[in-house]
Amino acid sequence: MALDDDIKLFEQIPVFRLLEPDALRLLAFSAETKLLRAGDVLCAAPAQLEGGYLVLKGSLAIFESRDALGEPSKIVQAPGLVGELAMIAQTEAAGSIIAREPTTLLRVSRAVFHRVLGEYPRSANAVRRMVSERLSSLSSELTPLG
């Protein structure tokens, strides 16, 4: 895929839409392509995710168990993102992630995402605000214990 095509797919993901055009271009240029066959395991829980994966083609099934039995808890199709939080902080996969069909991914490592945010402070502030708003929303939804 051409870089401009990759950028168009990145722009369809809310967290990436927050980035300035040059930051997004650098991120798309720095992302690594990963090809999976149907049934290939991207990660088996519990596993640390080292970044996010943008699904370019195909789809991923997320299972709550390591053995990936039963119905997946979530299906991520192109264009979709797995591991958004893993681009920001050390994160453990919530479940096993398996390709449902031949799937093409762009891997955005945490190191690359941090480097891009370090070079583009406006983009970093936008991402920080988004994370803060989500945490605030989550906090308000939690019920007190006791």
Delineate the domains of the chain, giving CATH numbers in brackets: 3-140 (2.60.120.10)
> In this structure, are residues 108 and 31 in contact, taking their beta carbons and an 8 Å threshold?
yes
pLDDT at 146: 58
Q: What per-residue confidence (pLDDT) applies to 67?
A: 67
Query: Residue 145: its pLDDT value, please?
Result: 62
Rg (CA), the chain: 16
pLDDT for the residue numbered 92: 87
CB 91 within 8 Å of CB 113:
no
Residues 81 and 53 sit within 8 Å (Cβ to Cβ): yes
Question: What residues of the chain score a pLDDT lower than 50?
Answer: none
pLDDT at 115: 97
Token digits of residue 5 = 């095509």
pLDDT of residue 31: 96
Please tell me the predicted confidence (pLDDT) of residue 136: 86
- pTM tops 0.85: yes
Structure confidence at residue 66 (pLDDT): 67
pLDDT score for 29: 95
- What pLDDT, on a 0 to 100 scale, did the predictor assign at position 90? 93
Q: Amino acid identity, residue 143? A: T
